[in-house]
A = this chain, B = another copy of it.
Amino acid sequence: MEYETPLFFHVMAYAAEADHDVVDMVSGNPDWEPPEALRDGLREYADFDADRFQYPPSEGIRPLREEIAERRGVDASQVVITNGAGEANYLAMARALERGAGSEIVLTDPVYSYYPGKTTMLGGTAHYVSAGADGHLDPSVVRAATSDDTAAIVVNTPNNPTGAVYPEETVSELVEVAEANDAILVSDEVYDHYDLSGTFTSALSVDSDHRIVTNAFSKTLAITGFRVGYAIFPSHLVEDAKSRHMLVNVAGSRPAQYAVLRALQETDPAYHEANRELLRERVDLFTDALDGAGADYVRPDGAFYVLARFDDYPGTLSNVERLIDEAGVAGMPGSAFGESCEPWLRFALVTPRVEEAADRLAEYFT
């Protein structure tokens, strides 16, 4: 097989096997509570008549699609409920490649680790454009890298791993570049509820037949294990995407879809604001301690992660394992996110022990 398995699971397993205390900052699993209405939704579902335990419509239960369509200002027919953002991105990239309008996928470096594997699996070729460790993508660099052979440009904003949030001009220029090359902009916006900067712009804000927006409730509602995501397609691409969804998965899991629906209907915006506030505090705590350790870091504008760099300690897998063994802190090797990230380590702020972890790092490196 020519596609790479993401390193996440390897590092998580290594950290779990340690016989000493390790602060887990590896994966993007929120450690805060899901909304109470989500739990209520599961309880209610458990008592439903058995006919509601059977196949939902392949594209997802209708009230959930309608709720999403209304929130996102699109027609419900454009919405496909997927098995998390993982499947949403898979469907979007497959659709872009199957159009017969190119075989190249433009990805950023740093990159979210799953995109390269999906590209290869789908028979595409990855072409990287540099965004730097701060993740600030220059659309003119993307323009220069894009050609007739470009099938898709895949971006993630707010960005994992850099924490960058693309400004409105970047988003609209990326759509324009996609249009100019008959390519598809795939905008993965799973961290949209964790924009700490107030500047997040969805690619949906630009009306175009050349963009697909993917998202999920995994981070939004702190339920990465429920696997409820969605993709919003332009009308001319949605039917074929639904066919692939049906042929791969038939449909997503219905109890999870129903619980998400209840959570959307009943959760106050304050829930999301409180989560952002928690993240802001953790960013402060963690970066203060990194300052103390003399580390270089990128202060995130959104998402859950801090990229940090320590002198003479590149972000290799073996250095990550050494940090688990000797400092009791587990992060992700920067190398998992592309060449430009090789000097860096990524720490996920999804533990109440952020300060303790930072102190351990400070002690280890000073």
Contact = CB atoms under 8 A, between A and B. Distances in A.
Interface in A226-254: 226-228, 240, 242-244, 246-254
Nearest to A9: B58
Interface in A44-74: 45-47, 50-58
A46 B224 CA distance: 15
A20 to B, nearest CB: 20
Contacts of A1: 98, 240, 243-244
A22 interface: no
B51 A31 contact: yes
Q: How many copies does the complex hold?
A: 2
Contacts of A252: 83, 227, 253
18 contacts: A1-B98, A5-B243, A6-B246, A9-B246, A29-B54, A29-B55, A31-B50, A32-B50, A42-B45, A52-B225, A54-B224, A83-B250, A83-B252, A86-B247, A90-B249, A226-B254, A228-B253, A256-B256
A248 B84 CA distance: 10
A45 to B, nearest CB: 6
Closest 9 CB pairs of A and B: A253-B253, A225-B254, A86-B250, A29-B54, A42-B46, A1-B240, A227-B253, A55-B224, A253-B256
A255 interface: yes
A120 B71 CA distance: 36
B247 A227 contact: no
Contact of A3 (B45, B90, B243): B243
Given A225-B254, A253-B227, A3 B54 contact: no
Nearest to A114: B247
Contacts of A45: 42
Query: Which of A40, A51, A58, A248 has the most chain B CB within a 10 Å cutoff?
Result: A248
A51 B29 CA distance: 8
Given A9-B246, A33-B50, A225-B254, 14 more contacts: A3-B247, A5-B242, A29-B51, A31-B50, A32-B50, A42-B45, A53-B224, A54-B224, A55-B225, A83-B83, A84-B251, A87-B248, A87-B250, A255-B255
Contact of A247 (B32, B50, B121, B247): B121
B225 A54 contact: yes
Contacts of A98: 1
A29 to B, nearest CB: 4
A363 to B, nearest CB: 27
A280 interface: no
A338 interface: no
Nearest to A226: B253
A39 interface: yes
A117 interface: yes
A129 interface: no
A230 to B, nearest CB: 14
Nearest to A223: B53
B86 A249 contact: yes
Contacts of A343: none
A59 to B, nearest CB: 9
B248 A86 contact: yes
B117 A248 contact: no
A222 B253 contact: no
